[in-house]
Amino acid sequence: MITVRFPDGSHREFPKGITGWEVAKTLSISLAKEAVAVRIDDQLWDLTRPLEKDVTFEVIKRPSEEGLDILRHDAAHVFAEAVKELYPETQITIGPSIQDGFYYDLYREASFTPEDLACLEERMHEIVNRDELVSRETWDRKKAIQFFKDQGELFKAEIIEDLPEGEGITFYRQGNFLDLCRGPHLPSTGKLGHAFKLMKLAGAYWRGDPKNPVLQRVYGTAWSTDKDLQTYLTRLEEAEKRDHRRLGKEMDLFHMQEEAVGSVFWHPKGWTLYRLLENYIRDKITAEGYVEVKTPQLLDRSLWEASGHWSKFKENMFTLKDGDKVLALKPMNCPCHVQIFRQGMKSYRDLPIRMAEFGSCWRNEASGALQGLTRVRNMVQDDAHIFCTEDQIGEETRKFCLLLLNVYQELGFEEVIVKFAERPPVRAGEDALWDKAEAQLEAAARAAGLSYTLNPGEGAFYGPKLEFVLRDAIGREWQCGTLQLDFILPERLDASYIGEDGKKHRPVMLHRAILGTLERFIAIFIEHYGGKFPLWVSPVQAAVATVTQEWNDYAHKVLEKLRAAGLRVEADLRNEKINYKIRELSLQKTPYILVLGKREAEEGTVALRKLGGEAQEILALDQVIDKLRKEAIAPHKRSKE
C-alpha cells in the first residue's frame, strides 16, 4: 500500500500501482471528469501513470491555467498527427503551448494555404472523434535518433542529438502518430474535445537563427469549452476593431515606414495625445516632489561596462565608433541618473531624491519582433529613480503605489494586477544581497497594502521588482508600471551620501515607471478606449460642420469662441452633404460634432451631437462651451475647479 496526501492535509492509503485517474474517481466522479493531469510531488503527471510510492497529490482541472496549458499541448499533437496524415512529406519540429493557444513549426517545400488549414482542422476533429489512446514511452537516445532519421524527421533527430546523454527520451503515442515530448498529456484524444481552432500562418527560422531553414508556423487556439472558445474568438474580433495601428491611421495619429524601422512618425493629432499624457504624468509627479532631469542619449561603453549592462545588453544596443572609442545609444536611463546624483556631496538630509526623466531610449529589437507602437526601437519612458536610505524604502514604496493606482484609475483602468518578480537566472550581485532586497521589497509591498502573486525568475538584472498589470476593456492584460529595488547599481557606480554618523553610505535606488514606455502605453490606451477617448485627452474635442457653405461665416465665429475657451476644435466646411461629414467625423472618433445651419446661424445656437448617439440637442453656443469646458477638465485638476 502507498499513502496519498491531498491539498487539504488529509491522506488515504491505496494499492501500489494505482493511477492518478483512479485516485481522482474515488474523490469525486465530477472531479475525475474535469481532470486532465495530476500533480505528484510538485511534478505534473499523466492521469494514467501508476503511483509506486507515497506521494502528495493534486488534481489539475481543465479550466485551470495548468489545465489549459495541457489541453493546448494536446491540441498541438493532434494537429501534428493531422499534418502527417494529410501531408506526409512534411517534417514536424516543435509545437509548444503558448498564451491562449499553441503553434507548430513545420518544414515543407510547398506553402500551406488557408484552405489547407481548413482541411487540417477538419481532420483534427476526426482524430478527436476516434478517441485514440495516448500512451507514454521512454526510449534509448540512440534508438530515438535513428528512428526519426529513418522517418525523414531530421529536425526531431537534431533536437534529440542536442539533449544530454544518458537520459531516457520520452515519447507520446496516439494512434499511428509518435511525437517527442516530456508530457503530460490526456489519456486519449477524445478527452481534448472540439473547442479548438487553427488561426493563422506565419514564418519562422529553425531555432530562431536566420542562417537556418525557414519553417512554416501554424498558430491555433484551444479552450476548455466551446463557450470559452467562442468568447475568445469574439474578443479577437473586438481586438481587431480596436487595433491601434488601424485606428492610428483612421484617426490620423501616427504612421511608421521602412525608412525608420521601429520609430514613430507622430502626426499633429497623435502628438497632441502624446503631449497630453506626458504632461498629465509630469503634473502628477511634480506634485509628489519629483525633480525632472535630461541626460545624454549617446554615452561611452565604459559607463555601460561599469553598470554591468554591457555584458548583458550589448547585443541589443546601437553602437558607433568615435576614433578609438565605442559609443552606445542608451537603452535605459538609470546609469545616467546616478551620474547626476554623484555631482556634489549628498547628505542623508537630502534624501529621498526623486529624479524623473522622459528619457528617449534605443533598443536594437529584431525587426521580426517589432509591432506597431507596442514594440519599437526608439521609445520614451516615464522613468524615475528614487535615491533613498534603507529606512525610507517602505514609505517611498507606499507613496509610489498610491500614485500609480491613482493614475491608472484616472486614466480609466479599474483593474490592476500586481506581481512580485523574484531574482532571474542571470543577474548582478551576490545571493545575500538579493535575499536582502527581496525581503525588503516584499515587506514594503505588504506595508503598502498590495495583494500580489509571485513571478519567479522575472526580476530585473539588478534587483527584484513589483510589476503592475492592467486589464483593458476587453479583458487583455498589459504589464506597464514597475518598481524595482536596487542595491547593486549604486555600488557599481560609486554613489554615496553622508549619513547621520558622518560616514559614507550607499543609497538605495528604486527604479520606477507608471506608464512604462509611452509609445506602448498609447497603443494600450487607444485599444482600451477603441479610439473614443475621454474628452480631456482627445486630440480633437469637437468639430464644427456646416449644413451648406452658406453658413461658413457663422462657423468661423463659433470656432473662434470655442478656441478662445481653450477647446481643441477643427472644422469641416467643405461643400459636402452634412450626413457625409458626420459619418467621416464619427469614423475619426470626434467626441462632439456641432452642426450649423440656417436656424443655428439665425438664433446663435448649435445642434450638438455626441459620438455614438443618434439624437442632437439644440443649445445656445455659450451653453455648449460651458458644457464642453467642464467635461474637458483633466481628472487631476477637477477638484481645483
With 0-12 / 13-18 / 19 or more C-beta atoms within 10 angstroms meaning exposed / middle / buried, residue 21 is middle
Give helix 518-529 / helix 226-242 axis angle, nearest 10°: 110
Q: Can you give the pLDDT at residue 169?
A: 87
Q: Is residue 232 part of a domain?
A: yes
pLDDT of residue 641: 54
Shared-domain flag, residues 544 and 613:
yes
Q: What is the C-alpha to C-alpha distance for residues 206 and 214, in angstroms, rounded to an integer?
A: 6
**Structural domain count, the chain:** 4
* CB-count burial class (<10 Å; 0-12, 13-18, 19+) for 523: buried
374 lies in the same domain as 492 = yes
- CB 591, CB 611: distance < 8 Å: yes
What does each C-alpha distance from 170 to 99, 135, 139, 354, 480 come to in angstroms? 24, 10, 6, 54, 39
Helix or strand (DSSP H, E) at 334: helix 334-341
**Confidence band of 640 (pLDDT split at 50, 70, 90):** low
Q: Could you say which of 493, 528, 563 is where a domain stops?
A: 528
Q: Do 502 and 608 reside in the same domain of the chain?
A: no
> What's the pLDDT tens digit per position in 184-196?
999 999 999 999 9
In a domain, 448, yes or no: yes
Instruction: Give me the percent of the chain exceeding a pLDDT of 70.
Output: 99
**Three-class SS of 194-261:** CCEEEEEEEEEEHHHCCCCCEEEEEEEEECCCHHHHHHHHHHHHHHHHHCHHHHHHHCCCEECCHHHC
For the stretch 399-444, pLDDT in tens is 999 999 999 999 999 999 999 998 888 787 788 888 888 888 888 8
Distance between CA 412 and CA 168 in Å, rounded? 53
Condensed to tens digits (0 to 9), the pLDDT of residues 65-94 reads 999 999 999 999 999 999 999 999 999 999
Q: Identify whether residues 574 and 490 lie together within a single domain.
A: no
Q: Examine residue 409 and state whether it is found in any structural domain, yes or no.
A: yes
Report the DSSP beta bridge partners of residue 19.
Answer: 50
Domain match, 353 and 339 both: yes
Give the chain's largest Cα–Cα span: 96
**Across the chain, what does the average pLDDT equal?**
92
Please report the pLDDT score of residue 620 as a whole number. 93
Question: Residue 209 CA to chain centroid, in angstroms?
Answer: 24
Decide which of 424 and 501 is more confident.
501
In a domain, 394, yes or no: yes
Last residue of a domain, one of 61, 87, 111: 61
What pLDDT sits at residue 639? 67
| 40 and 155 housed in the same domain | no
Do 310 and 404 fall into the same domain? yes
- In the chain, what is the straight-line distance between the N-terminal and C-terminal CA atoms, in Å? 76
Statement to judge: residues 235 and 285 lie in one domain: no
Q: How many CB atoms lie within 10 A of CB 594?
A: 26
Note the pTM of the prediction, 2 decimals. Answer: 0.83
Indicate whether 249 belongs to any domain: no
Q: What share of the chain is helix, strand, coil (3-state, %, to 5)?
A: 40, 30, 30
* Assigned domain for 245 exists: no
DSSP letters spanning 490-544: HHHTT--EE-TTSSEEPPEEEEEEEEEEHHHHHHHHHHHHTT---GGG-SS-EEE
> CA-CA distances (angstroms) from residue 615 to 246, 516, 555, 612?
28, 40, 21, 9
* Chain segment 332-367, per-residue pLDDT in tens: 999 999 999 999 999 999 999 999 999 999 999 887
Domain endpoint, select from 528, 557, 588: 528
Catalytic residue numbers, as ranges: 334, 363, 381, 383, 385, 465, 511
Average pLDDT over residues 325-333: 93
Q: Is residue 246 part of a domain?
A: no
513 and 568 together in one domain: no
Q: Grid coordinates standing for 517?
A: 514606455
Q: How many helices (H) and strands (E) does the chain have?
A: 20, 33
- The pLDDT tens digits for 592-603 are 999 999 999 989
Cβ atoms of 136 and 171 closer than 8 Å: yes
Decide: helix, strand or coil at residue 274: helix
Task: Report if residue 247 sits inside a domain.
Answer: no
- Residue 168 predicted with pLDDT over 90: no
Percent of the chain with pLDDT strictly greater than 90: 78
Q: Which pLDDT tens digit goes with each residue over 436-490? A: 888 888 888 888 888 899 888 888 878 899 999 999 999 889 999 999 999 989 9
CATH of the domain at 168: 3.30.980.10
554 shares a domain with 477: no
Query: How far is the C-alpha of 203 from the C-alpha of 368, rounded, in Å?
Result: 10
Which is nearest to 533 in space by CA: 549, 519, 545, 522? 522
Bond prior to 352 in cis (omega within 30° of 0): yes
Over residues 529-542, the mean pLDDT reads 96
Nearest residue to 235 via CA among 247, 253, 249, 223: 223
Domain ranges, residue 475: 254-528
The CATH number of residue 21's host domain is 3.10.20.30
How many Cβ atoms sit within 10 Å of the Cβ of residue 556? 13
Q: Are residues 191 and 115 in the same domain?
A: yes
CA 283 to chain centre: 26
Same domain, 182 and 282: no
pLDDT, mean of residues 172-189: 92
